Structure formats: C-alpha cells, structure tokens
Amino acid sequence: MSKSERELIVELEAVLNGRRYSPVVIRNYCSYAREFLDYLMHRGIPVGDVTEIEVAEYLRHAAVLFRKRRGRRPSKRWHEVPQSGIHALLRLGQGQWPPAPKVACAADALRFVICNEYETWLREERGLAQASIDAFLWEARCYLAWQFDQSGVECLKGVTVGDIDSYMDLRGAKLTRSSLKCTAERLRSLLCYLHRTARVAADLSPHIISPRLYAYEGVPSILERDQITAVLASTSMDMTAAGLRDHAILQLLATYGLRAGEVRNMRIEDIDWRAEVVRVRHSKTQACTLLPLMDPVGEAILAYLRTGRPATDAREIFIRTRAPYRKLNKLYSLVRRRLRDAGVNPLGRCGPHIFRHTRATELLRAAVPKKVIGDLLGHRSTGSTDPYLKFATEDLRAIALDVPGTEVLA
C-alpha cells in the first residue's frame, strides 16, 4: 500500500471517529477498505478511476475469498458491511459517490441538458419543493431515455400522441390508478416544458388522459382508543434507545396527529420547557403552530433526550440509533413494527398517518368545529379537513333514517 493510500485509510478512520461510529464498525470498514485498495493496486486501477463496475467485481471476488477462508457461503446481506466501508473510502478519494453519470453518447448529452434546465424551471418558475422536483425529474429521465431508445435524438421534435400512449402503456402495466395519475401529471409537465422550449413541435400535454379519482372513494384505516393505548403501553416497556425514541414519536403522533415529516424535522429548540409549548413546523404549508406540551409527550421526549439520544451535533430531536447519527429518513417501518409488536393489525395501511386520521376522527366525535380541527392539523382551508369526515361512520349511523317499507320487505 502506497503512502497516499495509507493516508486515505487514516483519513477514513478520522472521519468515522468524528461521526461517532462504534470502534467495531470503524475497524471493519477500514479493514475492507484496505483490502479493496490492495485489490485495485494489483490491477493497476487508481482510486479516482473506480466505477460502480469495479466495486461490484470486487464484492464478488471478496465473496469467493470468504467462502474459501470459512468453508461456507456468506449471508445474503453480508456485502453491506464491505460495501459501506468501500463507499465511505471512495467518497474521500473521489469527493462524490456514487459518481455523477458520464456522457456516453449524444442521447445522454441531450438528456442531461434537458433535465438540468427542467430542474431549474421546476424550482424557479413553478416553485416546487425538492421532493416534488426529484419525482418530476425521475419521470423525465425515464421518458427521455425511453424516447431516445425508440426513435433517436433527432426525432424528439416530432414526438406523437402514439409515442406518449406507448410509454404510458409501458409505465401503467403495474401501477395503481393513483400512481398512474401521478405519472400522467409528471409527464404532462415535462411535455409542456419541452413545447415551451421549442424542443417539441406540438403541445401534447392535453392529450395525456389520467384515471379519474373520486373524492373520498376510499376509507383509510383508523385506530380505536384501546388500540392506541396498547401500542403506547407496549412501546413504553422497551427501555432501549430505540424504544425510548419510538415511544416519544408515537406519543407525538397519537396526541397531536402530526405528519411524519413534522415529527422528523422537529428540533430541540422547538420545545419551550418553561412555557410548556411545542412548536410544530407544518411540512406542507411551511407555517408554524404552537401547541400545549402535554405531560405524556413531554415526559417521553425528556426520557429520550436524557438516556436514549446519541451524542451528536444534529439539532433534530429524533436521531438514528446507529452512526451516522442524523435525523430519521422515514417513520413508516417504525410505526408498522410497533403496531405489530402490540398485536394491532389495522385493515388498511399502518403507517404514521393512521394516527393523524384517528386524531381527526376523535375530535369530530367530540363535536370540535371543523375549523379548529383544520388549524390543529395544519390545513390551509377547511376543504382539506373534509376527507376526515368520512371516518365518523358511527355518528352517521346514529342519525341515519330508516328506509320506508323495510318491515314489509322483511
């Protein structure tokens, strides 16, 4: 191993220590990084020229060595540890990993140019959030790659309705009606942009027909109060760092009906312990709401901050239990696991939004005005709160009128 490669390993170890990885993980990552550098040296490949192909080839080579050394095949997820160590090494050696896609042909060059300009238009002209921009760009890359493979770069200006129909048939084969509607909206946006920039002769966006989705056509799941109590009681018995964190998250979801993003983005300074107030940053409207800090919520968060939260510079309250210690990416699997552990099996989806639906339903049954419910949930208009009315089915049954002539029919 050359001096520069040794320095790279030393830098990798320092970075992992700075991110508070455990000593065992640091040792494993650095060990696999050294073996990967030796593999590259024997083949004369500089670190700066490594691609995903070389990494995949090395992992297959490492799996063969594992089998020879231990006399058994590695597990299905064995590659995750060496792969993580190698990726961390390459981020230092190349400055970015995975590497940015390279232009291999004229179609790639045009696709990159269009997508870069389209991203700017989505952000500056339409003012979309980054998550929406990513979804629109993903569809744009898929469509342009498909179109160029079908007809070539020169035929983009002459795209026809038949081309669009063929692409939608391909994309819609395994999509639900809701997903197909989203696909149609994203493709409609791209075609509108291509026409505005004179890359497509005719505006084909009006010709994209999406499925009709009816308001309130589905009734999502909700939880009864005894089910919520069972979930919170089950989670409170877990005194590990993950258990303390999950219990605090579930208390927030069940008490206030927050969105998953509002919980994930909640920061330490959002809780005023003296005034007993919690500030909620609504992820959709970007507005803030001050809510009273209820005792069960405050106690759960305090227990997590004292003994469960890892030492980190991150300001978000809820952090991953393993390094790198940063905010949680999602809550769906967390909530689903805790519901399962408590023996609660909703009929429909079982993600964090089920607590939001449940909270809205409880307030409706308590005769709370719809405007107040909307303010609590962070809705801009009362129309956004209307879908929650369909959950109060028991209330509707109580005021339902008997159908005339039912005795005769019986």
Give the whole-angstrom CA distance, residue 124 versus residue 120: 6
CB-based contact 132:140 (threshold 8 Å):
no
Is 123 an active-site residue?
no
Residues 364 and 369: their CA atoms lie apart, in Å, by 7
Among the listed residues 259, 264, 338, 357, the single catalytic one is 259
- Region of 398 please: left (phi>0), alpha (psi -120 to 50) or beta: alpha
Neighbours of 121 (CB within 10 A): 18
From the list 284, 315, 330, 340, the catalytic residue is 284
Enumerate residues 6+ apart whose C-beta is below 8 A from 106.
153
DSSP for 303-339? HIIIIISPP-S--BSSB-SSSS--B-S-SHHHHHHHH
**Residues comprising the chain, all counted:** 410
In the residue annotation, 379 being an active-site residue is answered as yes
| Max CA distance (Å), the chain | 95
- Is 390 among the catalytic positions? no
Contact of 236 with 339, CB cutoff 8 Å: no
Note whether 88 and 11 are within 8 A (CB). no
β pairing state of 288-292 and 277-281: antiparallel
Look at the alpha carbons of 109, 115, 120, 125 in this order and tell me if their dihedral is positive or negative.
Answer: positive
H or E element at residue 191: helix 177-196
Considering only CA atoms, which of 170, 175, 163, 176 is closest in space to residue 208? 163
Q: Which of 34, 188, 338, 353 is catalytic?
A: 353
Q: Which residues does 64 contact at the CB level (< 8 Å), separation at least 6?
A: none
Kindly list the strands in the beta sheet with 277-281, ordered across the sheet, starting from the edge strand earlier in the chain: 271-272, 277-281, 288-292
Question: Among this protein's residues, is 87 annotated catalytic?
Answer: no
Residue 181 annotated in active site: no
102 part of the active site: no
Closest CA to 264 of 379, 351, 380, 185: 351
Which one of the listed residues 309, 356, 357, 359 is annotated catalytic? 356
What is the distance between the alpha carbons of residues 160 and 37, in angstroms, rounded to a whole number? 51
**Distances 23 to 82, 91, 150, 321, 384 between C-alpha atoms, Å:** 15, 20, 52, 15, 50
Active site residues: 259, 284, 353, 356, 379, 388
